[in-house]
Amino acid sequence: MNRNVAARRRSGLRAAAAGLVLAVGLGVSAQMPAQASVPASAQSPTAVSKPAAAAPKSVTGTSGHVVTRVADFYGAYIDAKGDYENPDAALAKALRKHYLTPDFAKRLAAWEKKNGADGVLRAQNIPARWTVTDNGSMGHAHEVTVTLTFGSGKNAQKTKLFVLVERYNHISDIATKSAH
């Protein structure tokens, strides 16, 4: 092999190596801003991590499912009653007619007259939050637990209600003690 050819090859290799170093160097420097935006916990296990952004909230329901039905009722009822600028008494009444059995609606009206409170909420005011949880089947009916939270922070008070739903998805009772 000729010296000139060998020299050209070495210089070509050096140029390729220099290009590779330059490309790697640029790649690393180009990645630095992207790495700076990665939370510290992802960069190293010993780094102090920043709080992650809250995940979007979602609500899932199933058509005809008893827990979804009770959640739909309480959500719409609380919205109708709790709109402080324009509460919708007609909507609240329509929701009760749609979701409650006629017999229970009469018993609930009597309870409200006696206690001076809303029978669906078992309160005179509107809850800030509510949770609906399956409490199991009882043969002909299904019980769902509704936890209402009134107020917030240290002053928050919770009320637990047990909602009995008949097999045709109508609420047949609301009580403060479980039927189980």
pLDDT one-digit tens code per residue, 46-101: 555 566 678 888 888 888 889 999 999 999 999 999 977 889 999 999 999 999 99
Q: How far apart are CA 115 and CA 100, in angstroms?
A: 19
Give the pLDDT band of residue 165 (cuts 50, 70, 90).
Answer: very high
Q: What is the pLDDT of residue 16?
A: 45
Q: How far apart are CA 100 and CA 110, in angstroms?
A: 14
Residue predicted with more confidence, 40 or 127? 127
Q: What is the pLDDT of residue 26?
A: 40
What's the topology of domain 66-175? Answer: Nuclear Transport Factor 2; Chain: A, (3.10.450)
- 103-115: buried (b, 16+ CB within 10 Å) or exposed (e) per residue? ebbeebeeeeeee
Instruction: Please spell the DSSP secondary structure of 20-79, one letter per residue.
Output: HHHHHHHHHHHHHHHHHTS-HHHH-TTSPPPPPPPPPP-----TT-HHHHHHHHHHHHHH
Let me know: does 147 contact 129? Beta carbons within 8 Å. Answer: no
Region 127-135: what's the mean pLDDT?
Answer: 95
pLDDT one-digit tens code per residue, 104-119: 999 999 999 999 999 9
Residue predicted with more confidence, 29 or 135? 135
Q: What is the pLDDT of residue 50?
A: 61
Q: What is the pLDDT of residue 119?
A: 97
Q: What is the pLDDT of residue 161?
A: 98
3-state secondary structure of 142: strand
Q: How far apart are CA 12 and CA 15, in angstroms?
A: 5
pLDDT one-digit tens code per residue, 1-57: 555 544 444 455 444 444 443 343 444 344 444 434 444 444 444 555 566 678 888
Give the pTM: 0.68
